[in-house]
Structures are given as C-alpha cells and as structure tokens.
Structure 1
C-alpha cells in the first residue's frame, strides 16, 4: 500500500472510534490490569511484538517497537489510567458506557486520554499491519499510572522506572495528552510537593490563647508562604519567552478562565493546599497540625530554589517541612526548533491546513520525566483540557479521526 493510500485509509476509517469506545468502557480508575491487557492483546492481534514490564507483580506497562536502534525511536506515549468519575448521578450518561451523542463520546477518560490512546494504537497498528518500511524506529508505550503514580524501585512513576532501567529509550516523544488539535504543548511547569507541620501544647479549648494553636499557626504560615512565592518571578529562558507570553491566552481558552485571573501563573510559583489534618476534638487545642501542599514551579526556576524560599519562611514561623519523597520535578521544555516539533507541526498543517500554535501549559505531566532523560517531548492530543477530570467528560469523534491522520503523518515525516 502506498503511503498516501495509507493516509487516505486512515482518514476514512471508523475503526478508531470503535477502539476508543472499547477502551472507554473499561473502568481504570484504580485497577489497570484489565485495560493494559486489552492494549497488549490488541497489539498482538495486529502482529506487533509486545513486551510487558511488571513493577510489583500486578501493575505493568506495555511497550512495542518497530525497527532496530531504539535510541533513535519516535515514541508514541499514552497512559491508560483515569481519575475517579465521582458522583455518577451528576453525569448525563453513565461514565463507562461511552455514549455517543452527535459528534461527542461521553465517558471518563475520553479526553484524558483514552481517545488519544486509541488513535496512537490505531496508527501503530497501521504501521505494523502494512509492514511500512521506516528509516527510524517507532515505539509505542502505554503506562498505567500517570494520574496516580505507582511506587517503583526508582521512585514514583512507571515512566521514570522504564526510562531509568533502559526499558524505554528513544530520540523524541509525542504524548497524547489533551491539547486540542490547533496547538502543540512544548513545555510545562515542575512539581514540588511537601508536608508542613506545626506543634503546640494541648489544653482545654476554653483557654484564651488563640494564637498558641497548631492549626492557627499553620494557617497563618501558609498565608505567609503564599505571599512569599508571589513576590518572586522566574527568569524565563530567552528561547521560549515569547511562547510563554503567548500561552496565557491559550490557557485562558482551555480553562475558561479570563486572562486577568491567571496572574503570572507561568512565571511565578503557585500552590495548592490539598490535605489538612489536625486536632482530636472540638474542645481541645490541637497539639499537631499538618498540611500537604503541592507547588508548581515555573520555567526558569528549579524546585530546589523554591524549596529554599519555602523552607526559609517555614523556619521563621516555627513550622517544620518534609519534602515528599520522589515527588519533585524541574520545569522543562522542548526547543521550538526540535525535529519532533517541526514534524508534528507539518503533520497538522498537512491535515488541517492551519499552523498550530506552540504553548506552555500550567500543568505537569510525564513529559518532564521524558525530557529529564534527554528525550525531546511534546504533547498533542484530540482531547479538550476544559472537560478533563470533570463530569460529562467527552471527546469529539471528528477530532479523534483527525488525530489519527496527524499522528500517522507525524510518524512518516520523522521516520521515512
């Protein structure tokens, strides 16, 4: 089959929609063995050579490679786990029925990122089934834990374990994380996760010393930490400064939040107080209070620099700090001039007749992990950021089909 005919067949096929719905009907909120086995069996059914990599005897990743010399491979990356669906009564359709209404498939994980998983699987199957001759290898990788990292011998996250142990190697990577089809994400912030702890002397709650309360002390310290991080601004790398500045408008569109409310989110750290624990009884002054806090680190700043700032404020306010083990990453980006970016841009232009915008996301993903191992990585997927992790998550059928052609063209642009 000629390459253009291959692209034409990919464009017309409804198989990717069928495949996506099969994946979406599998609940992979906490147990991923079923969906990982589905991915493995699908690859084997099309004649691909498949490897599984078990971390703890039950959690495993699925990989496959076409060609030799894997260090030059283009990696197609996906994750199969999803966040919890929450109160199913608040869904218009059951979250694991993969209901099609008009152009939309409604299901948990539709946009993040089983739609892209289906597209990448389908593209990879086309290469294998048609025995396409490539000058560079192409790898497919599906991990089970991007939403909720699993503990491995190398720390948190199966992706890091695969890369650290040499089970996955490559030159560049396309991740199917939700970006929408009109833009390509080439950079993201880093992670800095900590636990802050405060102590006080327990006593009867009627005592008038309001300030000598572990919870009150910690809450006030959290406000001071927040003020401190908002007083600093990172030195954005010159190569990506213009793209960072242009990203605010795109993030605003993604999150449905006015640009004015975003602040300097890409140039300053941000923090989320996710878990707070303290006290034993309503009428006892608590002896201990702690908070788990997740910070995002902007490009141009390392997580250690942020740690030094937060540690200083914590110390000044009688608060202890514990860095959560292996839950830190530095922000990263792929050069706008990198081959993978150029090939993907060209594929979008060939398919949609538009030039995609490059941007940096406010979030974090496994892209930071891959870049840390020298792999140029961008994420590009048919999903929409505005609906991920939400009730009534959906993906466009048309976008799903278009992504197949774009992924295929990107692979051929790189590997022919």
Structure 2
C-alpha cells in the first residue's frame, strides 16, 4: 500500500472496527502510515473515573513554525443491524463508484485523504517549511471526555503550539465543495423539575398538577424567540426534548413533572447571559400564568450539565482564503462559509488556534450503508494538497 492513495488508506482504516471507545487497530494503522513519512508518533491514553480509557494519537512532522494541525477522530458509531448493510460494515467493499463502510465519511475518509495529501506534498517537494501535525482522538462519537480536549492539554503541556487547524469532518450537505464550517453555534442543556401535590383527578382542588406549571415554564422558553440571528449565525433555537412524570395511572395527578431542553445559540449570547435570560423567563412564568389561576408560584428547580458547547467564530483570513481557493481550484465551487449543524471537537481546538472544518459529503454518516464516492476521495485529496501548499506559502505573510 502507498499512502498517496486515499482509497487504499480508507479501506485500511475502515477494516479496523474502532467503535467508540475501542481503538480497534485504527490508530495503529494510522501510525503505520505516518511513521514512514517522517512523523514522530505518540499514542496517549486518557483516563477519568467512571469513563472508559481512550487511546488517542498525536503525530508531528517538523520542529519549528509555522505549524498546521489536522484534527479528527478514528472512532465510529456502532453499525446497527449488520444484516441490513449491502456489504459488511467493516469490509470496505467498493461497489460500482462507491466505497462502503462505517466511518467512510465520518470521518475516516477525511483522515485517509489528508494522509494521502501530505504524502503527495512530501513526494513532490519534500516536507513543508514548518510543521505538520495530526491530532486524532478515539472519543469524538462518545462522551468526548477522554479525547480531543485532554489530548490538546497534554500536547500543550509538552510545548506544542499551533498556528491553524483544519478538522476533517464531513461538512458538505450535497456535493464536495459546498461548505466550510467557520464556527459553531453554542449548545446549552437544562433540566427542569416542578413539584406538585399528588391526588385524584376527580378532586383537583386537593392536588396541584405539576404539569400545568411545567407547561407554563416550557412555553416561556419557546416564545418569544431568543434572537433573530446575526451576520454569521442563524437564530438561536430552543427545543423541549422530553417531558415526563413517571406516572402510568390515568386517574392520578402526579407529584412532580420534569422536562429537558437544549438550545443551540448564536453569538448574541454567552453561557452566563443565556442562563440569565432563561432564568428570567422561568421566574416570570412561575409567578403568573393562565394554567394555574389562583395558585401559588410554580415550585421548580433547574439543573445544568457541566459541559456547555461555547459559540465561536473563526476570523482567520489566511486559513479561510487558502482553503476556499483550494476548493474552488478543484471543484469550481465557491464554498459557503457556515456555522450550521451540531457541535464538533472544533469547540475545544478554538481555544488553542484558529480552526475551520472541511471534509466529505455527510449524507450517509451514521446510517446503514454509510458510503463515499471514490471520485470524491481523490478530489478531497487534491483539495487538501493544494491547501497545504498554499497555507505554508502564505502563513508568514
């Protein structure tokens, strides 16, 4: 196998069953690709009580700046019903014009193409004048506790510094070249519990239905809108994702009710200001509301998970323009600069250097028969190669 071939690289990686948190041989395969190219490769195991150990990889070529990082993950989601797949999910079969396998687009394909691009750069002109690194986790599809965040801190403590980062997540909605992610919305979750008084539905005056109070609170979170978006971000959007009483009896008013919600928020807000706005709405709705006329204020509590995805926007022209130009040269497209979608490990990387995301078309990620067009693997490799060459040429400008 030659590492200049993205298809062969990807087949090797897919055949490693690296379902989170298992390494599955994927990091070993990646190390075998990078070491012959001159990379110094280290594999670091991160641990935390109550969570599985996760093996991660950091590899660097070069010892001085400018320093470009490629980041991603070799872990994949479970394949689901393997009998429903056209080809076994870890067989990496090419059927016609497509390569099938779990992780084909999310995101072993991006890693395979970047390795091929680096190998081609080195074959063409030698190592870049600066440093290239791979920061690869095995915990992106899981809780993201023992992955990128800890690997970044580990590398920084060893003296690593980066000037820019490209994350190879599948960013394109329909065709290669559609979209670069230049930021991500924030993500904040909360859990509301309303205490009531249990009783018989035929005697409501002897009870206090907590669902009435909970509906008042959730309505206040849903309306009015939190904002109308900004130049780079769509409007913030809150969704109530669960309402539960634990009550299976239709003739019993429950003692308590709970709700969960998540809001994906724009750069109008930060964690502190958004929590303050949510509390303002809840307190107002608890005091008054048409569903509990004559009752005392709603007795509620709210808890917040510790991990909040912070909103961010990358404004590094050299990074964005180099990548956009490479995409245009290969595909003829002018990519949209977007902040849509869910969170990614870029939310950790942005604390260390400017970061953007660009990879394959994501239509089949996490699905049965995840697959990638073989032609897209070659095109993405060409884009990455052009980007690497351009970025190092202009990094010192």
| Match of residue 98, structure 1, among 92, 97, 105 | 92
Alpha-carbon contact 1:178-1:381 (below 8 Å) kept: yes
Aligned-residue Cα RMSD (Å) equals: 2.9
Paired residues for 1:77-116 under 5 Å: 77-88=71-82, 90-116=84-110
Paired residues for 1:186-335 under 5 Å: 186-204=182-200, 207-208=203-204, 212-228=208-224, 230-234=225-229, 236=230, 241=231, 244=232, 266-279=233-246, 281-282=248-249, 284-315=252-283, 316-317=285-286, 318=298, 319-325=300-306, 327-335=307-315
Residue of structure 2 in register with 1:178 after alignment: 170
Q: CA 1:77–1:151 in structure 2 vs 1: closer, same or farther (change >3 Å)?
A: closer
Residue of structure 2 in register with 1:163 after alignment: 152
Unaligned runs of 5+ in 1: 1-8, 153-157, 245-265
Residue of structure 2 in register with 1:261 after alignment: none
Q: Does 1:379 align with 2:331?
A: no
Query: Following the alignment from structure 1 to structure 2, what is the Cα–Cα distance between the partners of residues 79 and 113?
Result: 7
Query: Following the alignment from structure 2 to structure 1, what is the Cα–Cα distance between the partners of residues 129 and 20?
Result: 39
Residue of structure 1 in register with 2:318 after alignment: 339
Query: Following the alignment from structure 2 to structure 1, what is the Cα–Cα distance between the partners of residues 122 and 206?
Result: 69
Alpha-carbon contact 1:297-1:303 (below 8 Å) kept: no
Alpha-carbon contact 1:271-1:294 (below 8 Å) kept: yes
Alpha-carbon contact 1:66-1:128 (below 8 Å) kept: no
Q: Does 1:119 align with 2:113?
A: yes
TM-score, structure 2 length as denominator? 0.81
SS of 2:182's equivalent? strand
Residue of structure 2 in register with 1:58 after alignment: 53
Q: Does 1:367 align with 2:346?
A: yes
Query: Following the alignment from structure 2 to structure 1, what is the Cα–Cα distance between the partners of residues 242 and 97?
Result: 38
TM-score, structure 1 length as denominator? 0.78
Alpha-carbon contact 1:314-1:320 (below 8 Å) kept: no
Residue of structure 2 in register with 1:74 after alignment: 68
CA shift at 1:50, angstroms?
0.5
Higher-helix-fraction structure? 1
SS of 2:78's equivalent? coil
Alpha-carbon contact 2:226-2:236 (below 8 Å) kept: no
Residue of structure 1 in register with 2:289 after alignment: none
| Match of residue 407, structure 1, among 372, 384, 389 | 384
Residue of structure 2 in register with 1:21 after alignment: 11
Residue of structure 1 in register with 2:371 after alignment: 394
Query: Following the alignment from structure 1 to structure 2, what is the Cα–Cα distance between the partners of residues 58 and 390?
Result: 26
